[in-house]
Structure 1
Amino acid sequence: MLFHRAILSPPFPARAGEPAIAPDNGPAALLRRCRPWAALALLLALAGCGSQQRQPARQQPADVQAHIITLLPANTADRAGWAKDIYTAFAARGIDPNSENICSVLAVAQQESGLQADAPVPGLGKIAWDEIDRRAAQAHIPAIVVHAALHINSPNGKSYSQRLDEVRSEKELSAIFEDFIGMAPMGQKLFGSLNPVHTGGPMQVSIAFAAEHADGYPYPIEGSIRHEVFTRRGGMYFGIVHLLGYPTHYPRQIFRFADFNAGWYASRNAAFQNAVNLVWGGKLALDGDLVNYGSDTAGATELAVRAMGKRLDMSDAAIRRALEKGERLDFEETDLYQRVFALADKTHGRPMARALLPGITLESPKITRKLTTAWFAKRVDDRRLACLARDK
């Protein structure tokens, strides 16, 4: 959250030898100058303004959904259905349904899926076969044996091979792997209980993220959270939580888009790494990863900060405790964060940026060209601006 200081008018000039006196233009002074009836009117007006500020008008669900419909691209099918699902997620999480937030959500969904609940993925069948062959090689099972086994019929009557050849979307692929994992012993040996489809839905949200944030989910869960992610309502809900469901001090929305791709607070943490580089004199990757979670082994950022321990007057243990808050807003309140930036600001000669687009190259079997988190964030931000241009 950014705070702005109020700009005050300068005091009236004083006569020589007299102290400067600020003009008394407050409500009390105005009341003294007014007739009694005018004073009463002014008091009522002030009271009315105050009550309006304390109790803003609440938007009705129908009005919010109507507003969302006006912001959706013109070619969107079932506009009312999209508006209802988006509104439900905003209401369930207490997120302000203003144009900025709505357009940010629509921009991500448009970038990730073209605003399709079950978007087709070109070449998905080949991607699936490649993953199966890779797992077979790891398990030392000849590919020919695996392919022969997949000619048997799956629970829906079609062979696994036929379903893989025809698969169009991640929802369909996830269902195939769920069936395949249940096929003993081949499926269990290759995949155990791990379905290799990790994201889904119109906002391509992580299924692991959805499972961690299922509390407060406003719909009955049909089957599993994984199944819910592949629905429009579930995919939008968890995608909105991922994009807007955490507090930040970012000056621009583009940093949330980068976080959506790289993880919460990745942009804030990349700026911290940049400050460490300036003070330490190193070349940390600006990837937003501050610590190896779940491991006692120190990562590159932790080792770099430890090298500055004497200058920071912090022990290795204190540094570790602070870095472990890297996925929370209150990392910014730690001595580590504040001391690093104090040194960096002094070295730089002016305040360093507190948010930077992470320098991460995107890797996925679905990506066929070199893309980065910064590219993703900028593309989404362009879509957000186009959406805001539709706001009337």
Structure 2
Amino acid sequence: MTRYLYPFLLLATLSACSTQPVTPSGSLPSSPVLPASEAVSAPSVAPPVVLPPVVGTLPPPVTPPVKPVVLSESQGRNLLERLLPPHIGDRQGWSKDIISAFTALKIPYRADNFCAVAAVIEQESSWQGDPTVPNLPAIVWGKIGERANKYLVPLPVVKAALLKTSPNGKSYKARIDNLRTEREMNLLFEDMAAEASKLGLPMNMKNPIRTGGPMQVSVEFAEAHVKIWPYPYQTGNSIRNDVFTRRGGIYFGTAILLQYPAPYQDMRYRFADFNAGRYSSRNAAFQAAVSQLSGRKLALDGDLLSYTGKQATGSTYQALLTLRSRLEMSQGELERDLQQEKNSNFAQSELYRKLFALADRKAGKPVPRERMPQIDLHSPKISRKLTTQWFAGKVNTRYQSCMARQ
């Protein structure tokens, strides 16, 4: 029996001692392709293959970018229907005006965008197209009295002049005594400004109303916006008057709130910008960094530069002048970059980059690039102490409630 097994044992020993050739690169040679007959008869379990060691680290897997979902207008309308509060008057009208504004301004139909607009509308007007103002006649008489005193005209003389009939057939005094809404007040002052000479009033009757509509948007912003972006609606008498309509107020309010690239992760800072001016939250963070580096206490109001005549002034500007050597920038270069404070380019300016580099180094970590502006709010319609931070917080609460409805 042994002599029959010996040839097989010898063959097995020689196979175990043999080595597999290695290519010059150190990798295993490629396996030969077997004929079909041999491949069929090959063993069902292949011997383990030992791979050469991997030098270095493998690159991370490439994740393809996720394309944002773009909703059609009908899909956007359905989404908005879910987000609007359940019990508002003329729900269909509000939805139509919001969708129309988003379409014209080319703003994506998204829940966060819809809810941002809805939250501001709810805060500013409680979903009233033409908001009523408590004690409005008293507010207007107070404003007229201030102007009369400025021009040394007794108020009784002014009231006598306002007994004359206005263009709508009622006396100016009667219209003032019965004012209820901002739109009525705006139209009143428009008529008074047009007929100031006829009324014999030796005062500048320029319309003092600066904001209005369901989102309390700035008339000045609206008049500037139509110069750079096509207005989609037929105007009535003026862009100013359109601000006080629901359709126009939503359009311009949506534009100032959303139609600009804001560098914020938290929507609260957009709400603060809506109240205090675009990029106020970014600029307030810049002021905080200037204050930290200069040792000067600054008002964090988002206003970086002002002028007295042609002379650049302002506490932030003065503090930056003390940092010129550390920033390695001239006074002219500082002014050049500060003039971009109201647009997105400021965040790419030499001044912005160098200042935050210094602030990060001093703190030992990145300092915030967004901060709530510290501004007190003043208006004849405000009877208690309010701030931009208070406004942003109230709107954000409404925003979160809206987002929960999706």
What TM-score do you get using the length of structure 1 for normalisation?
Answer: 0.85
Separation of aligned partners in 2, 1:127 and 1:179:
18
**Paired residues, number:** 352
Q: Say if 1:187 and 1:354 are closer, same or farther in 2 by CA, change over 3 A.
A: farther
CA, structure 1 residues 374+75, in 2 after alignment: closer, same or farther (shift >3 Å)?
Answer: same
- C-alpha deviations, 1:278-320, integer Å up to 9, x for none? 0000011000001116842311111111121111111111101
Q: What is the match of residue 269 of structure 1?
A: 283
Kept in 1: contact 2:73–2:109 (CA 8 A): no
Measured in 1, the distance between the counterparts of 2:54 and 2:243 equals 72
| Partner of residue 5, structure 1 | none
CA distance in 1, matches of 2:164, 2:53: 102
Q: Greater CA deviation, 326-335 or 289-298?
A: 289-298
Q: Is the CA contact (8 Å cut-off) linking 1:150 and 1:160 kept in structure 2?
A: yes
Which SS does the other structure have where 1:191 is aligned? coil
Contact kept, 8 Å, 1:293 with 1:324, in 2: the verdict is no
SS of match in other structure, 2:153? coil
- Pair 1:359-2:374 in alignment: yes
* Whole-angstrom distance in 2 between the partners of 1:319 and 1:26: 42
Cα RMSD after superposing both structures: 2.2
Q: Give, in whole Å, the separation in 1 of the partners of 2:342 and 2:361.
A: 26
Write the deviation string for residues 49-107 of structure 1: whole angstroms up to 9, x where unpaired: 99xx66x6653323312321221112211111111111111111111110011000000
Equivalent position amino acid for 1:208 in 2: E
**1:216 aligns to what?**
230
Pair 1:18–1:208, CA change in 2 (3 A): closer
| Unmatched segments (≥5 aa) in structure 2 | 1-50
2:120 is aligned to: 108
The answer to whether the aligner puts 1:117 opposite 2:129 as a matched pair is yes
The amino acid across from 1:170 in the alignment is E
Quote the residue 1:383 is aligned against: 398
Which of the numbers 241, 251, 265 marks the counterpart of 1:227? Answer: 241
- Matching residue of 1:330: 345
Supply the distance in 2 between the matched residues of 1:343 and 1:25 (Cα, whole angstroms). 36
Contact preservation (8 Å) 2:373, 2:388 = yes
> Does 1:97 find its partner at 2:112?
no
Counterpart of 1:74 in structure 2 is 86
Aligned partners of 1:198 and 1:208 also within 8 Å: yes
Kindly name which structure, 1 or 2, has the bigger radius of gyration based on alpha carbons: 2
The farther-off stretch of 258-267 and 182-191 is 182-191
Q: 1:200 pairs with 201, 206, 212, which one?
A: 212
2:204 matched to 1:191? Answer: yes
Equivalent residue of 1:381, what SS?
helix
- Unpaired runs of at least 5, structure 1: 1-14, 28-48
- 1:248 match: 262
Return the alpha-carbon distance in structure 1 between the equivalents of residues 59 and 333 of structure 2: 51
TM-score normalised by length of structure 2: 0.82
The equivalent of 2:40 in structure 1 is: none
- Match for 2:300 among 282, 286, 302? 286
Aligned partners of 1:153 and 1:271: how far apart in 2? 53
